[in-house]
Amino acid sequence: MNIILSHNAIWVIVSTLILGMASGMIGCLAYWKRQSLMSDALSHAALPGVVIGFALIGVKSLPMMMAGAAISAVIAAFLIQWITSATRIKEDTAMGIILSVFFGLGIMLLTMVNRMPGGNQSGLDSFIFGQAASMVRKDMFTMLFLAILVIFVLFIGFKEWNLFLFDPDFARGIGLSGRLMNGIYLTVLVLVIITGIQVVGVILMSALLIIPAVSARYWTHSFKWMLILSALFGGGAGMIGTIISTLGKGWPTGPFIIVTSSALFIISLVFGAQKGLLIQALQLRAQRKAHVSSQSSLAQGGE
């Protein structure tokens, strides 16, 4: 219990709570834009930038590595859009291509850096699966600032996001630029990814973006409440997963966060008020009873 209540552990828990909330909210945008795979592609594409950021200065500096990750992810997003517009390749195929190429490049660079003098002590391997315990207080403050900034951008622009996603024709009619909104969307998506990769890792970061939003969809049809529920699911998964990981020595935080998020998804899948399997089963049962009752009434009327 002392481990959980230690000063450093509390800061990690708060950081992953806010990160999970920001990830869940951005995941809602990706869900409604039907670009859930984009988060997967950009999170994997951030790895080369992390390694290059470390290699340029030779020491582990989170701001430098996050800057490299952001540049790498933005280049990947640009290439996905260019491939989609300039060729006959569909968007999901382009995302898969960029994901594989950039992640393979990142692994190659990581192997080369680890063979350099002192490279194996860099801790870069933690960016693959995440390692919250390796963060210092400065890293946590950086992560908190970026996550809160993302939440703020979504909060103040809620009406604009609603129009952009569900009524783009009306949005254009009142002068809301689709290109500007797409740019802001990609910016906040990249910010969330580079904020969370040290905690969750480039492989699992996409799950923290996708799962809370999908879980929230089983409870409501409202975009507003889906944002709120997704933030609660993501934040709850971040907090609970971090607490569980502190109970063991060397337990990675990222996988526990994703397992917790998956557990919330299973609960939503079964008990969700809108599309949950239990609700659907009860509705189907009620429909069958009504059908049998109507058939019986018709049979009695015929007699």
pTM (two decimals): 0.86
- Please, where are the H alpha helices in 87-222? 91-114, 126-129, 137-156, 158-166, 168-173, 178-200, 205-217
Q: Give 88's DSSP letter.
A: S
Measured between alpha carbons, how far apart are the two ends of the chain, in Å? 74
CA dihedral 263→264→270→273, nearest 10 degrees, is 180
The alpha-carbon radius of gyration of the chain (Å, integer) is: 22
Contact between residue 42 and residue 73 where contact means Cβ atoms under 8 Å apart: yes
Q: Please state, in angstroms and rounded to a whole number, the distance separating the CA atoms of residues 246 and 15.
A: 14
Predicted local confidence at residue 1, as pLDDT: 44
Q: Which tokens belong to 223?
A: 């975009």
Predicted local confidence at residue 57, as pLDDT: 82
Predicted local confidence at residue 125, as pLDDT: 72
Lookup result for tokens 């999901």: 92
Contact between residue 250 and residue 264 where contact means Cβ atoms under 8 Å apart: no
Predicted local confidence at residue 257, as pLDDT: 92
The set of residues, in sequence order, having a beta carbon less than 8 Å from that of 24 and lying 6+ positions away, is: 208, 209, 212, 213, 216, 230, 231, 232, 233, 234, 235
Q: Please state, in angstroms and rounded to a whole number, the distance separating the CA atoms of residues 107 and 127.
A: 11
Q: Is 60 exposed, middle or buried (0-12, 13-18, 19+ CB in 10 A)?
A: middle
Q: Which tokens belong to 91?
A: 């968007």
- pLDDT 10s digit of each residue in the chain, 303 long? 444 456 777 888 888 999 999 999 999 999 998 888 888 899 999 999 999 988 888 777 778 888 999 999 999 999 999 999 999 899 889 999 999 999 999 999 988 888 776 555 556 777 777 777 667 777 788 888 889 999 999 999 999 999 999 988 888 888 888 889 999 999 999 999 988 887 888 888 989 999 999 999 999 989 999 999 999 999 999 999 988 888 877 777 888 999 999 999 999 999 988 778 998 888 888 888 876 777 666 666 555
CA dihedral 108→109→110→114, nearest 10 degrees, is 110
Of the candidates 157, 155, 161, 136, which has an alpha carbon nearest to the alpha carbon of residue 29?
161
Residue-range domains of the chain with CATH = 7-272 (1.10.3470.10)
Of the candidates 63, 68, 27, which has an alpha carbon nearest to the alpha carbon of residue 45?
68
